[in-house]
Amino acid sequence: MKKLNLLSFALVGVMTLCIFGCQKKDASTTSTASQDQISASTKSQISNLGFSTENARKVKGGYLVEGDILLTDKNLNEKAVTSHLSIAETEQYRTTNLVSGLPRVITISVTNLPAVYGNAVDAMITRYNNLGLRFTFQRAASGTTGDIDVVGFNEGPSGGYITLGSSGFPYGGDPYNEIQMNTNPAAYGSNPNLGYLTSVLQHEVGHCIGLRHTDYSNRAYSCGGTAVNEGQSDVGAIRIPGTPSGPDAASFMLACSNGSDRTFNANDKIALNYLYK
């Protein structure tokens, strides 16, 4: 979910740049080892779906692309049908897959994570439910696994970055079923900030219901550094009507964040209302 500039971390002892998309890297380093695990045909499938293969890596359950998006083999082989396609502009974007069967209740569970993660899930649920969409989130019953399960993993910095969290996109009309949050102290520190955790979970849930990064065409807008387009294709990135054609500095789906508590802005609400209200 996030990439931390390790040089800055070493110099000042705090997280100075917090990135939702996990793609920030030291300018002098580019890791290729993880890509060596991915076949040329799989890279082609990833690219054809409209996702960048830069720093893509094989992980449990599929392939991690653009830092916090998990593509499964089902995603790679699914054919999408849509007549509303637009590529390479900086606007709110959705994938070809959305949650269907509306209205519906989507349950969320938290498995083996400290209490602050559960509190952040509750705060995130409130933020979404206050929008009055055709789905509502609620915590799953105690001891059960929800439609989306928030789980932990422990992974330290590697190759100049650290992953904060990851999730995937809807499949078969259902939201993606898992959000992974990094519990390594280098990710959120020993005392995670509730607002920041809430904003990270809010972002990852955005992917689970079908949203892509707002700065799809130029991640340098929010991340800095060299401009990186997340992928050119005629599937996989659909501009949502009514959202602006220029950069949107406050969107909760920007690839990168400074670590503040970022929530929905006016254009994010337009996008969510268009899809789900």
Q: Residue 225's domain spans which residues?
A: 6-27+80-276
Q: What is the pLDDT at residue 33?
A: 43
The mean per-residue pLDDT over the stretch 235-255 comes to 71
Q: What is the pLDDT at residue 249?
A: 83
What are phi and psi for residue 163, nearest 5 degrees?
-85, 125
Q: What confidence tens digit (pLDDT) does each residue in 80-129 have?
A: 444 333 333 334 655 667 899 999 999 999 999 999 999 999 999 999 99
- Of 83-97, 162-176, 230-244, 261-275, the range with the lowest mean pLDDT is 83-97
Contacts of 77 (CB under 8 A, 6+ apart): 45
Quickly state the pLDDT bin for 237 (edges 50, 70, 90).
low
Q: What confidence tens digit (pLDDT) does each residue in 196-216 have?
A: 999 999 999 999 999 888 876
* 202 part of a folded domain: yes
Kindly tell me if the per-residue pLDDT of 34 is higher than 60.
Answer: no
Kindly tell me if the per-residue pLDDT of 10 is higher than 80.
Answer: no
**Joined tokens for residue 276:** 């789900």
CATH of the domain at 194: 3.40.390.10
* 40 part of a folded domain: no
Q: What is the pLDDT at residue 77?
A: 77
Q: What is the pLDDT at residue 40?
A: 85
* 38 part of a folded domain: no
* 35 part of a folded domain: no
Burial class (CB in 10 A: 0-12, 13-18, 19+), 187: buried
Quickly state the pLDDT bin for 8 (edges 50, 70, 90).
very low
Quickly state the pLDDT bin for 36 (edges 50, 70, 90).
low
Q: What is the pLDDT at residue 22?
A: 36
In the block, residue with structure tokens 């938290």: 110
* 200 part of a folded domain: yes
The mean per-residue pLDDT over the stretch 163-188 comes to 90
The mean per-residue pLDDT over the stretch 167-189 comes to 92
The mean per-residue pLDDT over the stretch 271-277 comes to 92
- Of 60-74, 119-133, 135-149, 197-211, the range with the lowest mean pLDDT is 60-74
**Joined tokens for residue 45:** 């499938």
More confident residue, 270 or 220: 270
Burial class (CB in 10 A: 0-12, 13-18, 19+), 207: buried
**Residue pair 68/166 in contact by the 8 Å Cβ criterion:** yes
* 34 part of a folded domain: no
Which residues are paired to 107 by β-bridges?
138
Kindly tell me if the per-residue pLDDT of 18 is higher than 60.
Answer: no
Of 92, 90, 96, which is closest to residue 228 (Cα–Cα)? 90
**Residue pair 21/68 in contact by the 8 Å Cβ criterion:** yes
Total number of domains constituting the chain: 1
Average pLDDT, the chain: 76
Share of residues in the chain with pLDDT > 90 (%): 37
* 121 part of a folded domain: yes
Q: What is the pLDDT at residue 75?
A: 76
* 165 part of a folded domain: yes
Of 150, 157, 156, which is closest to residue 113 (Cα–Cα)? 150
